[in-house]
Amino acid sequence: MAENENKDPEKGKKPGYSANNIQALEGLEAVRKRPGMYIGSTDAKGLHHLVWEVVDNSIDEHLAGHCSKITTTIHPDNSISVTDDGRGIPTGMHQKLQKSALEVVMTVLHAGGKFDKDTYKVSGGLHGVGVSCVNALSSELVATVHREGQIFKQVYNQGKPQKDVEVIGKSDGHGTTIHFTPDPEIFESLEYRWDTLSGRMRELAYLNQGLNLVLIDERTKGEDGEFKSEKFHSEGGLKEFVSYLNTGKTNLIEQPIHVTGKEENVEVEVALQYNTTYSETVFSYVNNINTREGGTHVAGFRRAVNRLFKAYGEENGYFKKLKFAVSGEDFREGMTAVISVKVPEPQFKGQTKGELGNSEVTGIVSRVVGEVLTNYLEENPMQAKKIINKVIIAATARHAARKAREMVQRKNVLTGSGLPGKLSDCSSKDPVDSEIFLVEGDSAGGTAKQGRDRMFQAILPLRGKILNVEKAMEHKIYENEEIKNMFTALGVSIEEKEGERVLNIEKLRYHKIVIMCDADVDGSHIVTLILTFFFRYMKPLVEQGYIYIAAPPLYLVKKGKQFRYCWNEEERQEAIDTYSKGENDSGIKIQRYKGLGEMNADQLWETTMDPSTRILRQVTIEDALEADHVFSMLMGDEVPPRRAFIEANAKYANVDI
């Protein structure tokens, strides 16, 4: 018996699972082992999340009243420095852990001043894992602190301190600089995007009026020899934010409605403005963190808007002639709003803080917003009437849109499959394996049909330029033949649930929806029209990564039997140099593809449709705020901002705007 008791009962079993298989990860090992749990992902989004974590700490210093300027620098090697003029991270000895407080903050999860409400009343860095996560996921991080007349420094590799905190000089200033290099062992991409970083800096400037933010890119120099840079500062705060979001739109009321208030230590600030468009644009923040999935603060805001405007309309008899009920969605059509709350102890869902869960915030926001809206409606009857008239038009259009949707869906049921006649479907019925190409024109559509792999590739030709949905009422959209064809081909439908318009994608027939247009100005315009439609009416398809843009080549460079496809001017010149071998050769032929129809079916297949060789650009919404702003500007009513944007970003010469 004694012999049996000493035997390992797990021995000889495969796969083994014993006490030896239980790993206890110490320090920051857990972050390096499972980075996605802490920063969401290890792609470009996760890479930029590192910057947000460091900047958020500096923003918290600003919220506490100790920081007026934050400078973020992208260095030539794509490392990042964030410098603030806050108090500086404490460097004294931590009594419990017997090491410098700086080292504790940088190397211990859930450590920091954010848990001490005397130090930070509100904080974006709620979990105390932010900067330590950045440290763990950096090949090198250098923390430099100006504090108490001295300059302190500590260097870390993959989260591990290389030596103790040292004093490297004297200083009469105060603040912290974090310089980190993302670890190539962790991240798929190491290149920082200017547009992504500048978009967030602009956002932070509006959310923290009076704060100075500077972004410097040492990878790019201007004609003056200076590094590319931009300063962000706002004195108008959320009111300016809403005006920025409404660029390109025609405003219904001249000035945004501004709400400020405080209840139970929760600070509420809201700015809203109505315009003549047909979509709702709402961005929400908690302690400066963008809550992309909304939450209780958004629910409270919507409750107040619905309640107050409905009561005002009924009391003044505006809804008497309507034969159907007005819904919450009608009160928010054409409304642009920014909701910002400061909550001492926010309850977020996950480290990426996508949704606020504090139940008490709903009532607080509803009451604060409701009080201001009540006063506004009483004091501004002309503006109130404009808004209510807009609501009535929205309700009427929604009623018409529901009928139009029902007609489209009923037709699908009555005609069997309900698939458009122009659709050349694929054999596969598995959405995961299937892809559909939305092709510009019948000519290119015919070439694509000949060149495709019928097993998994479907082709839907689109005639001309589809309707600009940015300027159209919803019921008009369902009358557009090309848009109806896209709805029926994709198998998705728009439904109403609890007064909200929701896209049902349960029967989506393809998990790759590829927009394939000519590589010219008209083609780019059609791509933009289609993307605007997807962004406004099928956003879940974009959010889940189902939308792609094909990249047909611009040139074919040929010499004898040698040939090479080229997607830009650099590749064209490289091909010419290769074939000419440095000599002036008139034997090289260059074909510029002005349209997909100019290609043979086999050429279109091997360059643009063959999964083994093609280039597909996945459409993502890295910055929903900036995407909304750009779509409104490009497809809206105002010409000057559109002209300025196109001139700054044009890829083609002599563009006729």
Catalytic pick among 520, 543, 598, 606? 520
Find, among 577, 569, 582, 523, the residue nearest to 550 by Cα.
523
How many other CB atoms sit within 10 Å of the CB of residue 327? 20
Domains in the chain, please, with CATH? 29-232 (3.30.565.10), 241-395 (3.30.230.10), 417-552+618-649 (3.40.50.670), 555-615 (3.30.1490.440)
Tell me if residue 520 is catalytic: yes
CA gap 305, 291 in Å, rounded: 20
| Residue 128's pLDDT band (cuts 50, 70, 90) | very low
Note the pTM of the prediction, 2 decimals: 0.72
Tell me if residue 330 is catalytic: no
Helix axes 639-649, 624-635, angle to 10 degrees: 110
Question: Mean of the pLDDT values across residues 6-20?
Answer: 46
pLDDT digits (tens, 9 = 90+) for 186-224: 999 899 999 899 999 999 999 999 999 999 999 999 888
Spacing of C-alpha 257 from chain mean position: 26
Q: How far is CA 629 from CA 247, 248, 281, 310, in A?
A: 7, 8, 10, 29
pLDDT > 90: percent of the chain? 48
Catalytic pick among 140, 263, 496, 522? 522
pLDDT digits (tens, 9 = 90+) for 527-546: 888 888 898 889 899 989 99
Catalytic pick among 84, 85, 333, 440? 440
Catalytic pick among 425, 482, 518, 628? 518
Predicted local confidence at residue 19, as pLDDT: 46
Tell me if residue 522 is catalytic: yes
Predicted local confidence at residue 121, as pLDDT: 54
Helix (H) / strand (E) containing 221: strand 212-221
The 8-class DSSP code of residue 115 comes to G
| Residue 515's pLDDT band (cuts 50, 70, 90) | very high
Confirm if 200 and 221 have CB atoms less than 8 A apart.
no
What ranges in 415-462 are assigned the alpha helix state H?
Answer: 442-451
Question: Mean of the pLDDT values across residues 541-559?
Answer: 90
Tell me if residue 500 is catalytic: no
CA gap 448, 614 in Å, rounded: 14
CA gap 344, 63 in Å, rounded: 12
Q: Is 204 exposed, middle or buried (0-12, 13-18, 19+ CB in 10 A)?
A: buried
CA gap 441, 443 in Å, rounded: 6
How many other CB atoms sit within 10 Å of the CB of residue 208? 21
pLDDT at 137 over 90: yes
Question: Mean of the pLDDT values across residues 460-488?
Answer: 83
Confirm if 480 and 456 have CB atoms less than 8 A apart.
no
Looking at every residue in the chain, the average pLDDT score rounds to: 84
